[in-house]
Copies of this chain bind each other. A is one copy, B any other.
Amino acid sequence: MSEPLRIALAGLGTVGGGVIRLIETNADLIARRAERRIEIVAVAARDRSKDRGVDLSRYAWEDDMTAMAARPDVDVVVELVGGSDGPALTLARNTLAAGKDLVTANKAMIAHHGLELAALAEKADAALKFEAAVAGGIPVIKSLKEGMAANDIKRVYGILNGTCNYILSTMEDTGRDFADVLAEAQAKGYAEADPTFDIDGIDAAHKLAILSSVAFGTRMDFKSVTTRGIRRLLAADIAQADVLGYYIRLIGMADTEVDASGQRRLVQRVQPHLVHRDHPLAHVDGATNAVVAEGNFVGRLLFQGAGAGDGPTASAVVADLIDIARGDIGAPFSIPVAELGEAPAAETGDRIGSAYIRFNVADRPGALAEITAAMRDAGVSIESLIQKGTPGLAAGDADTVLVHMVTHDGPESAIGRAMALLCDSPCLTEPPVVLPILDE
């Protein structure tokens, strides 16, 4: 057996603690599969005195984690601190500049600085691996880069945020409203005290930008991801979707198009969608993640599992370490950085699809006529329209009713025009909620 692979661990929180437990528990089988042992040499966190439920006395403690990159006894640095910039980024840069391999679970950092880090890694002939950054324990980066490597991948989408999926499936099961379920999720530790990154779709957008670069071989472009979260969804939306045969899921979707001039363009969006009961993503419940990828030969593949948590995330981190131990470095984004294609954001107005729209309507004469006229004038064809007697929102909104509409397939720009026509309407008490219906 070769020399052990010596690693330094920065960050000893949920994921870092999990990695230590995993490496200790499964040491022998890891050594068999990696054909060498994986040895933790040094660790770092903020607070040296915190009890982390694991015995750290065997490992050197670094007060300044960025110094790990310079340790001559370390082959790989594992960054499990978090944050797109700051010390995590400094450590990542130093590690790769020192010619050492870097493994990270930090989607924010990879989404913002992945290309720069990949270029550093290539220059140093070092590995940059981030399986844990997307969909936790699911080996989706490996599956896209290697398992589907023979395919032109056309589209990749999925449920990328466990917190949102937990909230949506709990709203579904209990009929309760968003704010109520969020508060409970926070109390139970399923949602952060500041849940913005999760529920506004930013975390999913980080993951989507990474997925689409790996899948399509294009330069990562996080700022072009259109992001809408789940804050505005009501129990009534979920109930109405159910009647129509759908579930509501926060979907990150990356799709490729070729424009009139032959330029490949990308659509990258995170937003709640209606997902038909027969679609495999409809049955993904709780904090589970799932990713669908479509290749020109393999067709549609689905990967499903735990998207977060100490065990699953550690499993992905250590899989990256085993690859490195086996000498499998690979290009971080599937092809060398210099060959990654440019893919400007698509003009999405021409995309054809159907949508669910919910209007909060002031309960007064002519409201429905105004909405339907706007649809007609914008060229949106209505498949169904439901106005229930139930008041839209609780106390204080007694004179608001909800109108639910499903459109026929048509260009997205038409719905945009209809929304523009209605934007100043006194009939609406708040802006409509538009949810695309995921096609099969």
Copies in the complex: 2
Chain A: interface residue total (CB-CB under 8 A): 59
Contacts of A316 in B (CB 8 A): 298
Cβ-closest chain B residue relative to A323: B146
- With A33-B334, A298-B305 already in contact, the answer to whether A319 and B22 are too (CB < 8 A) is no
Q: Contact at A314–B335, with CB atoms within 8 Å? A: no
Instruction: Give the contact stretch, choosing among A135-143, A178-186, A238-246, A384-392.
Output: A135-143
Q: Contact at A299–B323, with CB atoms within 8 Å? A: no
Per CB-CB distance, the 3 closest pairs between chain A and chain B, nearest first, are: A139-B147, A150-B318, A298-B315
| A162-213 CB contacts (< 8 Å) to partner B | none
Q: Does A81 contact B (CB under 8 A)?
A: no
Q: Distance in Å from the Cβ of A357 to the closest Cβ of chain B?
A: 28
Q: Does A47 contact B (CB under 8 A)?
A: no
Q: Does A280 contact B (CB under 8 A)?
A: yes
Q: Distance in Å from the Cβ of A249 to the closest Cβ of chain B?
A: 15
Q: Contact at B301–A138, with CB atoms within 8 Å? A: yes
Q: Does A34 contact B (CB under 8 A)?
A: yes
Cβ-closest chain B residue relative to A150: B318
Contacts of A229 in B (CB 8 A): none
Q: Contact at A149–B297, with CB atoms within 8 Å? A: no
Contacts of A295 in B (CB 8 A): 315
Interface centre among A131, A149, A309, A322 (most CB of B within 10 A): A149
Contacts of A147 in B (CB 8 A): 131, 139, 142-143, 319
Cβ-closest chain B residue relative to A310: B297
Q: Does A328 contact B (CB under 8 A)?
A: yes
Cβ-closest chain B residue relative to A29: B152
Q: List, sorted by A's number, 9 A–B pairs whose CB atoms are closer than 8 Å.
A: A29-B217, A33-B145, A33-B149, A34-B149, A138-B301, A139-B148, A150-B314, A298-B312, A326-B330
